Structure 1
């Protein structure tokens, strides 16, 4: 207990310090979020990864808080995924490349024995789910403080599930990750001084999803799927919302645009901080259901409330663009994406 508290404090302070120290080198090297009007370096994720790996690795190396073979492998694979995300930040790789690399890393982490995840088929499905969640978590990084807030709440929830199963190594790792994300949020809260980037987003999504799979090992597959969905409910809602919106508009799913949760909540009149708070509250509600179902305190049917709430949110937010957009002349229209105002497009007749 005392080590867990000390580790969390160390991770929080280290992540906050590293995020501040890496900001200037990130600006000089041009590692910035190109979707913003002002230069914001994407080094916050590096700070989270370094703080988590160093603090959790110190417990394993000293023997004070050994993570265990499975959790140590998870942390190592997560570091590899973070390196791939950093490469994607620098060279702007196609989305399918980090997704494929994350899936390969997940195949090395998910268990292939024990109840709900059994055999090759179950392991492959679990690895695919981990990769999808990591990719969706990266897509969730579209507003200041949003991905970090969702990550903190989810880490506490999955960590609580791990504590129920007496998986001390998983619980320690997730508490360290939650603390590191909190330190990062000190610099990422609107207006952000550093951004998350693919490095931190893929790492966080990968660790959270993989840890959730480890926690549910030994349970039946169908209830496990419900708990896993509840623990990642907001991430799933954002992914479904984006896919439906882009398909209905006839646009490629992989093309970026202002159609995520944060964008649509802003169109409803919320401030950037207000949208983050609303998404954080939704994450807390969804994760709480997952924890209660996993612990056996409520019936598994409670997951349907999360699914129903997510469906209502998706259908309601799909209508926001038409209801909230103002009609402006095409020649003077401008589009704002994550703080970036693009120059008006000139319309040519004929």
Structure 2
């Protein structure tokens, strides 16, 4: 398998997903798998789900055409595709029948166990300055836990048109580059297929979306990205192998971590939807859905680019010696990514909220600062409308 195979596989997956999505939308409407307004989403409801089935079709078709199923790698690839089918079906049932969270979790564990049983398993990790750490018999269950975590991270981030599909496409592209550089060609092609499937679906999912991927799609992308990370980087001997997926998927990981901590703080169920996600916060300060998702894409690109740079910039000889010049370059890139992250998390959410509130309501600075402090404590920003005036939000006349 070569880079050319990966490019062709990406194109094939893109075409299949783009063509199949309208068909899955018709199926969704026929069986009643239609989105209902939820607290964690910004959609009004009524959009067909099951877009994940179109991505599954794209992955299976492109996989059969461009993946090499010979030898021991073939067993692992068969396991990944089988697990993909299982989680897509579990997600489709959830989209239609709204399964209990415990049932969904069991389905995720079952789907993750399929590729792990086929050999998609992390047995050891190489840490900088510490060397290899062997997990032994704990490798398999730890890998299952990791795959389930990635599935839920992607699932929880899917609350605005185009966000999950775009972020996963960017992440998959970064994983493909890293995997090929680590000579994990099978993982590189699988990552390219995942990227193509997400982009093909994004044709119909970018705002205003005509189709949603549903839990069917978000869990599918999460499982595929998790398997790609394991096969393409984590189970290699690369010193920064574990860091690559954490940096590439930092945006959904940070979003999920923040939301879960908020729910734990206020003693709410972890699985209960709320309005504490990044996209809700951007909406609360007046961002449109398109602007919100483009900012989050840009953040993901910055982090993914930094992860790729960690692999390609020769700042170290992997033996403990660092090149001063290239190390300075990496430090500079790291500071730029950190600055972009601070800008998005702090400036856009806090400072812009303060300025917007003062401008639109005409309230005193002290009152606004108190409101911002309250919002920071609770994590709940009151949405601002363009017609808000000095006396506060207008109410409709009777």
TM over 0.5: yes
Distance 1:69 1:207, change over 3 A: same
Distance 1:315 1:240, change over 3 A: farther
CA deviation string 1:188-242 (max 9, x = no partner): 1111100011111111011101211222213378x43332311210111110121
C-alpha distance in 2 between matches for 1:7 and 1:224: 25
Q: Which deviates more from structure 2 when the two are superposed, residues 148-157 or residues 103-112?
A: 103-112
In the TM superposition, residue 114 of structure 1 has moved relative to its aligned partner by 5.4
Q: Which residue of 1 aligns with 2:88?
A: 82
In the TM superposition, residue 71 of structure 1 has moved relative to its aligned partner by 2.6
SS in 2 for 1:224: coil
The partner residue of 2:49 within 42, 46, 57 is 42
C-alpha distance in 1 between matches for 2:11 and 2:98: 34
Q: Which residue of 2 aligns with 1:346?
A: none
TM-score normalised by the chain length of structure 1: 0.82
Counterpart contact for 2:153–2:252, Cα < 8 Å: yes
Counterpart contact for 1:112–1:120, Cα < 8 Å: no
Counterpart contact for 2:87–2:219, Cα < 8 Å: yes
| Structure of higher CA gyration radius | 2
Establish whether residue 21 from structure 1 lines up as the match of residue 23 from structure 2: yes
SS in 1 for 2:241: helix
Q: Which runs of 5+ in 2 are unaligned?
A: 38-42, 127-133, 317-326, 350-374, 394-398
Distance 1:87 1:307, change over 3 A: farther
In the TM superposition, residue 6 of structure 1 has moved relative to its aligned partner by 2.8
SS in 1 for 2:269: coil
Distance 1:121 1:152, change over 3 A: same
SS in 2 for 1:68: helix
Q: Which residue of 2 aligns with 1:345?
A: none
Q: Which residue of 2 aligns with 1:257?
A: 274
SS in 1 for 2:299: helix
SS in 2 for 1:291: helix
Counterpart contact for 1:262–1:276, Cα < 8 Å: yes
The partner residue of 1:111 within 98, 121, 125 is 121
Q: Which deviates more from structure 2 when the two are superposed, residues 87-96 or residues 161-170?
A: 87-96
Counterpart contact for 1:99–1:132, Cα < 8 Å: no
Counterpart contact for 2:69–2:78, Cα < 8 Å: no
Counterpart contact for 2:284–2:381, Cα < 8 Å: no
C-alpha distance in 2 between matches for 1:225 and 1:87: 33
C-alpha distance in 2 between matches for 1:204 and 1:115: 24
Distance 1:315 1:219, change over 3 A: farther
Establish whether residue 283 from structure 1 lines up as the match of residue 300 from structure 2: yes
In the TM superposition, residue 106 of structure 1 has moved relative to its aligned partner by 2.9
Establish whether residue 138 from structure 1 lines up as the match of residue 155 from structure 2: yes
CA deviation string 1:30-57 (max 9, x = no partner): 1111125341111211101111111112
Distance 1:251 1:115, change over 3 A: closer
Q: Which runs of 5+ in 1 are unaligned?
A: 334-350
Establish whether residue 248 from structure 1 lines up as the match of residue 254 from structure 2: no
Q: Higher relative contact order by CA 8 Å / sep ≥ 6: 1 or 2?
A: 1
Q: Map of 1:6-17 to 2, 5 A cutoff?
A: 6-17=8-19
C-alpha distance in 2 between matches for 1:23 and 1:212: 30
Distance 1:280 1:183, change over 3 A: same
SS in 2 for 1:174: helix
Q: Map of 1:87-166 to 2, 5 A cutoff?
A: 87-107=93-113, 108-109=115-116, 110-113=120-123, 115-116=125-126, 118-166=135-183
Distance 1:248 1:7, change over 3 A: same
- RMSD over aligned Cα, in angstroms? 3.1
Counterpart contact for 1:240–1:314, Cα < 8 Å: no
CA deviation string 1:147-176 (max 9, x = no partner): 001010000011111111122211111111
CA deviation string 1:168-189 (max 9, x = no partner): 2111111111111111111111
Establish whether residue 54 from structure 1 lines up as the match of residue 61 from structure 2: yes
SS in 2 for 1:259: coil
In the TM superposition, residue 22 of structure 1 has moved relative to its aligned partner by 2.2
C-alpha distance in 2 between matches for 1:148 and 1:3: 22
Counterpart contact for 1:46–1:199, Cα < 8 Å: yes
SS in 1 for 2:246: helix
Counterpart contact for 2:122–2:230, Cα < 8 Å: no
In the TM superposition, residue 263 of structure 1 has moved relative to its aligned partner by 1.0
